[in-house]
Amino acid sequence: MTDSTGKVTLVFPRLRRESNVWAPLPLMALAAPLMEDGFEVSLVDARIIHPHLPEILAAAADALYVGLSVMTGYQIRDAVLISRSLKETYPELPVVWGGYHASMLPEQTLAEDYVDIVVRGQGQQAALELARRLRDGESPEGIAGVCYKRDGEAVIAEHPPLVDIADMPPTPYDILDIEKYMVPDVGARTMKYFSSQGCPFGCGFCAETSMYGRGWVGFPAERVVDDLELLVKRYSVDAVDFADTNFFVSKKRVRAICEGIIERGLDIKWAADVRTRQFIDFPPELRQLVYDAGCRRLLLGAESGSQAALEHIGKKTTVEDTLRVSRICNDLGIIARFTTMFGFPGEPERDIEDTLRMIESIKAINEDFEVHGFFFAPYPGAPLYQESIRLGFEPPARTEDWADFDLTELHTPWVDPRYKEKVDMVIDFYMPFASPGRELRRKMEGSGPRAAAYRAMHRLAAWRVAHRNFDHPWEWKLKRLRAGRGGAA
């Protein structure tokens, strides 16, 4: 380690409607090598500071650069506000954008006068090299993944390949006010943690493929267990939600992590994402080990109850796989949380009935299993992004116009809004009420008027789903009115 020769300010802009604030892992990942190299890092999380601009401006005063982490959607609105404010106050201070959005659209992002540099892809090495160059008064030319402006012209770097993270220094949880990031989730004190980056699969709707080129890199098992032990012992964490896009890529590593957790007697519960077939293909004793090591929830992409739709998106899984994995999780005592997707390009509006039937079968296995419905949104970088443009999707022309882009709204001209309404109503509103999970059942158990309203809603929804009768959906309309959106179903 060298003496501190410079400071880097990292900012996590606000997100929309985030009830629980998760640790800003992208920035903590960057802070690790910077701090090891002797740089001072000031991490400002705009989600937990009100008002946030004065603090960001103060932290930026003596920085070599300010780096913002930006994902497509609402976060852009705050990132633009912050960046403009930085430029007004410190015209010479380099403003750097990284994360999924800028990585996929570097030209468009650099066209804005409030962004000086874009870092594409994985940021650990680029953030460090950039700090060294700016400290030494050198140009960022040639740093892998770093795009910048030269005489007003954008210099766009190739998207860099994924670099191994096995030797990365520890993720610095101590730069956070950690109590602000303890979330009641799998445990009362759940902490977000990442142990790997990338995913070897290539689902058409997912930006991951372009971001990390179907590569995958992870911390060695021992390092992961060390980190978990530190979280438990130093911060009294009782559960971890893995932010890994695909925690289960290496069976060998999963086995070693689980054995390590058990050997060290770590009393910890955890949740992670897995592909349906991956978990089915695990030998039963490994699945049992995963449970024994504390896994209590898995997030799986079921995507659809229609086999034709699964073939259409090349998901390489079957509806029967979804039911099989449900039975496996149920037998183990692991909660399965599924996502489904509708409205892919070129897909005929398919019968919601198939997915509804799949959900009923899942709920018959375990009522606590959840199924969420989403509509396909062409995120930049997703393999289906270009096809969506050919089919009439008009991507926003300027960075800030991407701020309204999220999975709750419809962005694709080939989908009839009434179809989306029906999916939202049946899959995400009536179905969860008809077959309530643990949380809703708890709300129904009370004695006040609220609990009575939930019970009435449950009976009504159960009747509607059983009879497939969604005519005159006044409960749904009321909910929409209360959410301030109005509109007919």
The contact set with ligand SF4 (CB under 6 A) reads 199, 201-203, 206, 208-209, 245-246, 275, 301
| Residue whose CB is less far from ligand B12, 33 or 294 | 33
Residues of this chain that interact with ligand B12 (CB under 6 A) are: 15-18, 22, 24-26, 29-30, 67-69, 71-75, 96, 98-101, 119, 122-124, 126-127, 194, 197, 206-208, 243-245, 379-381, 406-407
CB of 57 to ligand SF4, least distance (A): 36
Residue listed under structure tokens 């296995």: 365
CB of 214 to ligand SF4, least distance (A): 8
| Residue whose CB is less far from ligand SF4, 275 or 411 | 275
* Contact partner at residue 148 from ligand B12, ligand SF4, none, CB < 5 to 8 Å by partner kind: none
CB of 211 to ligand B12, least distance (A): 7
- The token duo for 264 is 């060290």
| Residue whose CB is less far from ligand B12, 192 or 269 | 192
CB of 471 to ligand B12, least distance (A): 30
* Contact partner at residue 195 from ligand SF4, ligand B12, none, CB < 5 to 8 Å by partner kind: none
* Contact partner at residue 322 from ligand SF4, ligand B12, none, CB < 5 to 8 Å by partner kind: none
CB of 460 to ligand B12, least distance (A): 27
| Residue whose CB is less far from ligand B12, 68 or 465 | 68
CB of 274 to ligand SF4, least distance (A): 9
* Contact partner at residue 202 from ligand SF4, ligand B12, none, CB < 5 to 8 Å by partner kind: ligand SF4
| Residue whose CB is less far from ligand SF4, 314 or 417 | 314
Question: Which strands sit side by side in the sheet containing 335-342, from one edge to the other?
Answer: 190-193, 239-242, 269-273, 295-303, 335-342, 370-375
* Contact partner at residue 30 from ligand SF4, ligand B12, none, CB < 5 to 8 Å by partner kind: ligand B12
| Residue whose CB is less far from ligand B12, 407 or 440 | 407
| Residue whose CB is less far from ligand B12, 72 or 108 | 72
User: Exposure string (b/e) for 275-307, b if CB count within 10 Å is 16 or more?
Assistant: bbbbbeebeeeebebbeebbbbbbbbbbbbbbe
CB of 214 to ligand B12, least distance (A): 13
| Residue whose CB is less far from ligand SF4, 314 or 413 | 314
CB of 400 to ligand B12, least distance (A): 15
| Residue whose CB is less far from ligand B12, 144 or 451 | 144
* Contact partner at residue 407 from ligand SF4, ligand B12, none, CB < 5 to 8 Å by partner kind: ligand B12
* Contact partner at residue 198 from ligand SF4, ligand B12, none, CB < 5 to 8 Å by partner kind: none
CB of 336 to ligand SF4, least distance (A): 15
Alpha carbon separation from 287 to 282, 334, 369 (Å, rounded): 6, 10, 18
| Residue whose CB is less far from ligand SF4, 145 or 381 | 381
* Contact partner at residue 162 from ligand B12, ligand SF4, none, CB < 5 to 8 Å by partner kind: none
* Contact partner at residue 294 from ligand SF4, ligand B12, none, CB < 5 to 8 Å by partner kind: none
* Contact partner at residue 209 from ligand SF4, ligand B12, none, CB < 5 to 8 Å by partner kind: ligand SF4
* Contact partner at residue 275 from ligand SF4, ligand B12, none, CB < 5 to 8 Å by partner kind: ligand SF4
CB of 204 to ligand SF4, least distance (A): 9
- The token duo for 348 is 């005929």
- The token duo for 409 is 């709204």
Provide φ and ψ at 284, rounded to 5°. -50, -40
CB of 303 to ligand SF4, least distance (A): 9
Alpha carbon separation from 147 to 33, 123, 155, 278, 382 (Å, rounded): 20, 12, 5, 37, 21
| Residue whose CB is less far from ligand B12, 69 or 276 | 69
Closest residue to ligand B12, Cβ-based?
98
| Residue whose CB is less far from ligand SF4, 66 or 325 | 325
State the Cα–Cα distance between residues 158 and 156, nearest whole angstrom: 7
CB of 196 to ligand SF4, least distance (A): 11
